[in-house]
Structure 1
Amino acid sequence: MLIALLLVLAALRPSSSIPVDGHFNTFLELAGQPSTSPTRTPQNIIWSCLATIFACVWVAVHPNIPNPRESQWRQFWRRVSTMLYAVIAPELVTLWAIRQRSAAGRIKRDFNDRYFPNGGTGRWTLSHGFFIQMGGLLFAQEGRDAYVITYKELLELIDNGNIDFPSITEEDILDKSKGDFLTKILVVIQTTWFIVQCLVRWAFGLAVTEIEVVTLAFAILNIVTYIMWFPKPLNVQVGIKIPKSRDAPLLPVPKPEVRKGWLQRQIERGNKGGRVTWVPWMVLVSLLLPSKLFSGLFLPLGAMATDDQVLAGSAYVPTFYADLDITTEIGVICPSLGMSVVFGALHFIPWNLEFPSDTEELLWRICSVVITVEPLPAAIGLGLSRLTKGYAVGDVITRVMESMATSIGSLAFIGLPLYVLARLTLLILAFTTLRSLRGTALTDVAWSSFVPHI
């Protein structure tokens, strides 16, 4: 739809045979409109961009259900930190949404095929698939604390007769949501409207500022994220307790587990398989994990892409949990990596614009390249790891390919600090370049010229 709109606007652009000199004022004169075009101020640009970014990183993010034992302040701070992560790496938020959407579809299909093969009322929807991933279903027994259950644990409880068959409707789930259909549509309209404004400016040869380019990348990525999360309940605070069946015996509460990160689990998996692919990971750990900054900032970013573990007996799921092992879902990781590259490439738009200084121009170009190519090692590593799947190759070749895949793929993790630095630099440059706006950057679009009026 956006491509079609761009083509229409391009058709409206003045022909090269008309001496418009690239200015919207001249175009309005030729169209019979007043030559004085509307203007905008840097403050107008900033507020428009901040409103769109806020819609992308605060309103559009659908968090999991928080820890019921946390204070309101702690829950608010967790939401703020999630927003900051979304500003630094919005493509990882999109990946998190895609992981949950893929898992929700799988849960929906599996549940209905298992218990409703012939149709009927009570079938699960995508909202059910999202809700259980959010930590929305808790197993409750008399005199014992309720704990969250995963989809796999729910099936075991049903099949063993420990709980009655859950009759939770989609209306029950959506009733807990703090965002209705209209709220979600308004967010889509806000981001889409910003994209349309940028397209119109390009169609009529008006300059687009760096901060608008950054916001445009956010907005385009946000549409994908919002589509993925559209059936997911928003800002649910309390889950639904499923009581033990009356005739079932009391079940022991699972003992607390030691949480293991995705990286540690991958290393242990490689050791059990007798492979040598754990060596590059150990090098990565020795280089990066001793840093408290890495543990405090970069590991949560990695969790958006990899967190698929719920501790037994826990009252809530992790902040970035999704019931999907990304290493087994090439249909999820490949589109996500592609979108990450597109997101970075959008920052090439101001490549030939006039910056206030040569230093800012050089920094913008370097950082744009960094955030564009940073996901590529992960894509190359994934491709190499898949080359030997399904083919009868020697064990030596398989081990060599797996080692190469892991080594190259680990570069994406090693480059994460550089990526974050580049993202922060681009955000700072987007504001500093506003001090010297030239040409048609402050010329606004005369929207009234598009609407028939007297």
Structure 2
Amino acid sequence: MLLPQLEGRSNPAIVAPTSISILETSSDNTCDDLNNCRTLWSIVWSCLATIFACTWVVIHPNIPPLHESWFGRHGRRIVTTIVAIIAPELVICWAAKQYLASMRLAQKYKDFGWTQTHAFFLIMGGFVIYQEEEPVQVVGMRHLRRATARHPENQPSSNPVMSRRLVTGRDYEVDLSMQRLEAPVARSFNKVLVWADTGRGEDATGPLETLTCPMPHITREEITDKSKGDGLSKALAILQTSWFILQCVARGIQRLQVTELELATCAFAVLNGVTYGLWWNKPQSVDYPVPIGRTTTAPSQYDEPMPRTVNGKLARDYRRDPFTLLEAMFTIAWGESFESSSGLFWPLLLLPLSPFLRMMRGTEVKAGDTYVGTYYGGSLDYDFEKAVVQLILVTSSTVFGAIHCIGWSFEFPSRLAQLLWRSCSLVITCFPLIEFGSWIAIPKRETVTQTAPDISTPWSLLGAVAMLVALLLYIAARVVLLVLAVTALISLPHGAYETVSWTYLIPHI
């Protein structure tokens, strides 16, 4: 009764008894030499271990909000992991932004003793300005400025350094007395940190309020000590992914069957190497930031508690008005007013796509934010950096899809499954080229908008619809490929259970 399984998938009509599990049926009597056979469970386990190493272990999240619940903190991590499984190339895009921004930041402040680890720590929300015991502002890249201290001799002063700006009819005072700063912040007073926000966007001139604090003095070792990742965890992740890729290559050399799940996992492993390289110097899973400018006796610069904001909008009581909850969800997802959209259909339909878009587009640090966004990647100030990120995104996406195209001639349980695999592989391979073409066309679209706004409006709408459809197709194709990779395990060909003969691959006389 199990003979057809030994011969491959030639007779899919014969099904194993229901009392025998898939793992037992597929792993028994499918290989002649027990010393050179593997079970279905070993295939699944190696794939799951590699996927776990490529997602949960490799992801270096930003610092979560202060006092966030356990559910909220791990919920963010789970959502990010799901996004990484569906679209791992977006994680590379996120990591590439942080890498380029950290390199520029480390180079700019190298005379302060900063390294790329310091820059990564700032980008992930590692420094928060405090007034007394209340956080008032997380330090973002655009908030970091070099300034000259009033005491170049670096001597403690009994008089506080005052920074006054008339804002909404009040004078804000910031106490920077050396005697009132907690160590290790007070070690480097002649190097200052200035935060300025105009309230009218980052490109406007003339700050409305200024917070001046000492440049944070923290060593690379102190930052690394906060990281949950160490050399052992990195070594295990690299070893697992390298071994898996080597095993898949060896099976191809010996012309042994590679399962669809192994092929999809191999694509994860290849992109994992790029992500790990970009985040090599970034601290992992840091829970709490370093307070900057915390004082013990000076009055708070805000007489009233700062209201929580949603991209600059005052939060409301969501429990009493469900509509405001939808408004806040849409604002967080898209960064614009909920009332500007027509009805509830599109906001609710597009809300599941917000993690993908936020990871690709990034977020900004606004006035009053006490933590950076989940997918904050820093600020890319140069067109060259933006072009590099786009090139990395397109290249990694194309490679990810091309690896799936290797399974073009694989054996599948049915002809329909084979056609779905081929078509979905083409979709995820061609989508980055469409995205890259739209990125190139943006300057031309802006030129047409300035010269002929009446003509440009339909084309802009058409381009937005095309990009939305392409994104939906891409996500659907990724989900279909994952489903096909799992369902193909029900009926594997004979060669899939044979192990690699490593002695044959070792050079010998």
Scaled by the length of structure 2, what TM-score is found? 0.69
The alignment covers a number of residue pairs equal to: 393
Between Structure 1 and Structure 2, whose CA radius of gyration is higher? Answer: 2
Q: CA RMSD in A?
A: 3.4
Show CA shifts across 1:392-451 (max 9, x none): 999649998998688547633332222222111111110111122114221101235556
Give the deviation of 1:110 after TM superposition: 2.2
User: Is 1:82 the equivalent of 2:91?
Assistant: no
Output the CA distance in 2 between the equivalents of 1:409 and 1:325: 24
Structure 2 residue 350 is matched with structure 1 residue 294: yes
- Relative to structure 1, is the Cα distance of residues 387 and 228 closer, same or farther in structure 2, using a 3 angstrom cutoff? same
1:54-453 to 2 correspondences below 5 Å: 54-112=52-110, 116=111, 122-155=112-145, 158-159=193-194, 162-243=212-293, 251-252=301-302, 256-259=308-311, 290-295=346-351, 297-325=352-380, 328=383, 329-385=386-442, 396=451, 408=463, 411-449=466-504
Q: Provide the identity percentage.
A: 38
3-state DSSP of counterpart to 1:162: strand
Q: Is the 8 A contact 1:306 1:325 kept in 2?
A: no
The alpha-carbon distance between structure 1 residues 153 and 291, as it changes in their structure 2 partners (threshold 3 A), is closer
Structure 2: distance between partners of 1:52 and 1:224: 15
Counterparts in 2 of 1:35 and 1:178: CA distance versus 1, 3 Å: closer
Deviates more, 1:59-68 or 1:35-44: 35-44
The match for 1:43 is: 41
1:216 maps to a residue whose letter is: C
Q: Which amino acid aligns with 1:130?
A: F
1:315-360 alpha-carbon deviations (Å, 9 max, x no partner): 3211111113599411211221121111112111111122110111
Q: Alpha carbons of 1:287 and 1:428: their partners in 2 closer, same or farther (altered >3 Å)?
A: farther
Of the structure 1 ranges 69-78 and 200-209, higher mean CA displacement relative to structure 2 is found in: 69-78
Q: How many Å separate the matches in 2 of 1:342 and 1:129?
A: 29
Q: Quote the Cα distance in structure 1 between the aligned partners of 2:71 and 2:445.
A: 50
Report the AA paired with residue 431 of structure 2: E
The answer to whether the Cα contact below 8 Å between 2:130 and 2:137 also exists between their aligned partners in 1 is yes
Q: Secondary structure at the match of 2:373?
A: coil
Letter in 1 for 2:350: F
Q: How far off its partner does 1:452 sit?
A: 9.5
d(CA) in 1 for partners of 2:479 and 2:467? Answer: 18
Provide the residue aligned with 1:270 in structure 2. none
Amino acid at match of 1:210: E
Structure having the higher helix fraction is 1
Residues 289, 442 of structure 1: alpha-carbon distance in 2 compared, 3 angstrom cutoff: same
Question: Retained in 2: the 8 A contact 1:256–1:312?
Answer: no
Are residues 36 and 139 of structure 1, via their aligned partners in 2, closer, same or farther at CA, if it must alter by over 3 Å?
A: closer
Distance 2:401 2:332 in 1: 28
CA distance in 1, matches of 2:333, 2:283: 27
Runs of 5+ consecutive residues of structure 2 not aligned to the other structure: 1-31, 147-191, 195-209, 312-330
Distance 2:344 2:394 in 1: 23
Conserved? CA contact 2:86–2:478, under 8 Å: yes
Given that 2:424 and 2:480 are in contact with CA atoms closer than 8 Å, whether structure 1 keeps it comes out as yes
Task: Kindly indicate whether the alpha-carbon contact (under 8 Å) linking 2:62 and 2:124 is maintained by their aligned counterparts in 1.
Answer: yes
* Whole-angstrom CA distance in 1 between matches of 2:379 and 2:74: 27
Partner amino acid for 1:145?
A: P
SS at 1:163's partner residue? strand
8 Å Cα contact 1:177-1:236 kept in structure 2: yes
Q: Call closer, same or farther: CA 1:206–1:325 in 2, change over 3 Å.
A: same
SS of aligned partner of 1:92? helix
Moved more, 237-246 or 371-380: 237-246
Equivalents in 2 of 1:35, 1:262: separation in Å? 55
In the TM superposition, residue 241 of structure 1 has moved relative to its aligned partner by 0.5
Q: Decide whether the 8 Å contact of 2:128 with 2:135 is kept in 1.
A: no
Shift in Å, 1:377: 2.0
Q: How far apart, CA to CA, are the structure 2 residues paired with 1:65 and 1:127? A: 14
Q: Secondary structure at the match of 1:173?
A: helix
Number of the residue aligned with 1:5: none
Residue deviations 1:272-328, cap 9 Å, x none?
xxxxxxxxxx9xx76996252420x21111111112212322232111111135994
Residue 40 to residue 375, structure 1, CA distance change in 2 (3 Å): same
Number of the residue aligned with 1:276: none
* Maintained 8 Å contact 1:382/1:409: no
Which residue type is aligned with residue 280 of structure 2?
Answer: F
